[in-house]
Structure 1
Amino acid sequence: MRYCRGIDRLDFDLVRGAYHPDGIDHHTGFDGGVEEYIAWVRPKLELLGGTMHHIGNHLVELHGDLAISESYSTATHWGHPTGGDFTSGARYVDLMERRAGRWAIAERWAVREWTRSDEGRMITPEADGPRGRRDGADLVVELRSRLTAR
């Protein structure tokens, strides 16, 4: 969930924190370490108007300090300047490891199951109201600041 929030809000420290420092990621078009993954995905995400990841079924198999985690995901991507809005269905298959009491991703496979074009299907909001932010001023950040200032 930290990973999804980090990707959707462009909070790459949060993405980084979902992995161990030597964590490995396998995405469509990418294989490598977490720092290289962030360097690869960041400019792609910054071109977009937004992303929204939903996590569904989640199954974990514990094996001592190791675990296999499988999470179903639906992710929508919109607002690329040249088009290309799409939604994809995937599974995050993770090798999790507990090190010094902290569970994090040691290796992740983002297994793409399907992709659907959403080109021309997005519409503007029907009225004024709260909107998600990707610049560090999202409502969650504001609320956290309020509560920690108490």
Structure 2
Amino acid sequence: MDIQPNTVESLLAKQDIQEALVRYARGVDRADGELLKSCYHSDAIEEHGNTYTGLAHAYVDGAIERMAKLKHPMAHYLCNVHIDLDLKAGLAYVETYVLTFARFDNKAGEPNDTLTGGRIVDRFECRDGAWKIAHRKIAFDWNRDAPANETWCLDMFKPDAPGMNMGQRGTGDLSYQRF
């Protein structure tokens, strides 16, 4: 790999790519289909493990439908991001470490927590001045599942108390409010 010195153009491209990654994580966690689609070119491909391979916008539509049925919120945390940028070609190969926390009910209807570590590997392309995902694949590295055991910091926080903002899907979430 040839390390190139940063230029204003390369820093702006990397910032645009980082912002697309953050929009994706927020879009998934808030079940915001429009926000998710804004991260992909219209002809982008999504390969999401063994669950989906095809057009990314169709993946988003199906994911939003599935997330609407979930009782519990989820959270995606982006960690290390490596961007291999080729400005002349308008390409970037991006590896993003991700931690995903989700709560799903098991077959008996009991809540279980799952924590998954993996990497999102993307090919970004700059088209009409916009850096977006053209092809995405997921690498799953590890997973930990356990029965839910939520005590909110040993009962320091009370989820039902006035003034407590609990995360939720959609535009009712605190992050959509402007105060």
**Structure number with higher strand proportion:** 1
Counterpart in 2 of 1:93? 121
User: One-letter code of the match for 1:85?
Assistant: D
8 A contact 1:88–1:115 mirrored in 2: yes
Q: Secondary structure, in 3 states, of the residue corresponding to 1:140?
A: helix
Distance between the aligned counterparts of 1:110 and 1:116, measured in 2? 17
- Given that residues 116 and 143 in structure 2 are in contact (C-alpha distance below 8 angstroms), is that contact kept between their aligned partners in structure 1? yes
Aligned position for 1:51: 74
The residue number in structure 2 matching 1:39 is 61
Deviations 1:75-127 (A, max 9, x none): 00114473443111110100000001100000011211111103233446731
In structure 2, list runs of 5 or more residues that go unmatched: 1-21
- Runs of 4+ in structure 1 deviating by more than 6 angstroms, as ranges, are none
- Whether the 8 Å contact between 2:40 and 2:57 is mirrored in structure 1 is no
User: Does the CA contact (< 8 Å) of 1:47 and 1:80 recur in 2?
Assistant: no
Q: 1:2 deviation in Å?
A: 0.5
3-state SS, counterpart of residue 35 of structure 1: helix
SS of equivalent residue, structure 2 residue 177: helix
* Structure 2 residue matching 1:118: 3-state secondary structure: strand
Check if 1:63 corresponds to 2:98.
no
Higher Rg of the two aligned structures:
2
CA RMSD between the two structures: 1.8
Query: Given the two structures, how large is their TM-score scaled by the length of structure 1?
Result: 0.87
Which deviates more, 79-88 or 97-106?
79-88
1:16/1:80 Cα in 2 relative to 1: closer, same or farther (>3 Å)? farther
Compute the displacement of 1:25 (Å).
0.6
Write the mapping of 1:1-150 to structure 2, written as runs, cut at 5 A: 1-28=22-49, 29-48=51-70, 49-64=72-87, 65-80=90-105, 82=109, 83-123=111-151, 126-127=157-158, 128=161, 129-143=164-178, 146=179
Identity of aligned residues (%): 28
Give aligned pairs, total: 144
TM-score (normalised: structure 2): 0.74
